[in-house]
Amino acid sequence: MTISTLDSCRQRLWHELLKRLADIARRFPDAALASSLAAEDMVLTHAVCTSQLPLEMFTLDTGRLHSETLGMLDVIRSQYGRTLTVYRPLPQAVEQHVAAHGAFAFYESIELRKACCGIRKVEPLRRALAGRHAWITGQRRSQSQTREHLPEEEHDAAFDLRKFNPLAAWTEDDVWNVVRALGIPYNPLHDQGYPSIGCEPCTRAIRPGEDVRAGRWWWESSASRECGLHAANTKLPPLAVVTRLD
């Protein structure tokens, strides 16, 4: 299949995305794509690589990811010849947290869950974004109620830089139609009931009819299901406060 097999609406979405990313690269040469290696981020990766945009791409290896997710790094390298920069948590911070609270403390309380996310995700993200003026994410409005007002461009107050969400208006069907039309590689977990993929112990497959993010931190209420990477979605305080959760 090719882009020509898509309906005209989705062809327009794709071409607008390419223009949007090229515009971001022109305005912010140090902008980086933060990839979770999920389908949305693979759409963005495909767009960046096939357009040969000089945008850096990075991911956060929390140390608790599925092997299928980590395997996408090799897929990207072999398919596009590009290597993602991988940021990992500080070993000492992880060791101290696990020693104090256990390896599965995230099930015990929202505070301990956010502390784990703070160590394994937010702090590495802070390093990944240090010195940059913009970052790009694969968030979409229809993914959850915490994202329903997501703008395509915003000021990220938590990290004090521009933040772009070029897929904000895309639907789940838009993503998958483009993935299939362009033959974009994707995490095999998506075919096993995981529309949204995070850390292995904090993600489950969803049941028919459930919200696409229902499998993320499923033991919590839907209003708290963000990890601190996108603080504006949950009105979380700035990073300086987030990191004090530990």
Spell out, one character per residue from 158 to 197, where the chain touches ligand SF4: x when CB under 6 A holds, - when not. Answer: ----------------------------------------
Q: Determine phi and psi for 171, rounding to 5 degrees.
A: -95, 170
Of 99-158, which residues contact ligand SF4 (CB under 6 A)?
A: 106, 113, 116-117, 120-121
Residues 101 and 116: their CA atoms lie apart, in Å, by 10
Positive or negative torsion for Cα 41, 143, 183, 21? negative
Residue 165 or 196 having the CB closest to ligand SF4: 196
Take residue 171 and report the two structure tokens written for it.
């639907």
Spell out, one character per residue from 214 to 233, where the chain touches ligand SF4: x when CB under 6 A holds, - when not. Answer: -------------x------
Of 62-101, which residues contact ligand SF4 (CB under 6 A)?
A: 62, 64
Residues 100 and 94: their CA atoms lie apart, in Å, by 10
Residue 10 or 121 having the CB closest to ligand SF4: 121
Is residue 116 part of the annotated active site? The answer reads no
Residues 239 and 160: their CA atoms lie apart, in Å, by 10
Take residue 135 and report the two structure tokens written for it.
């970052």
Task: Give the interface with ligand SF4 as residue ranges (CB under 6 A).
Answer: 62, 64, 106, 113, 116-117, 120-121, 198-199, 201-202, 227
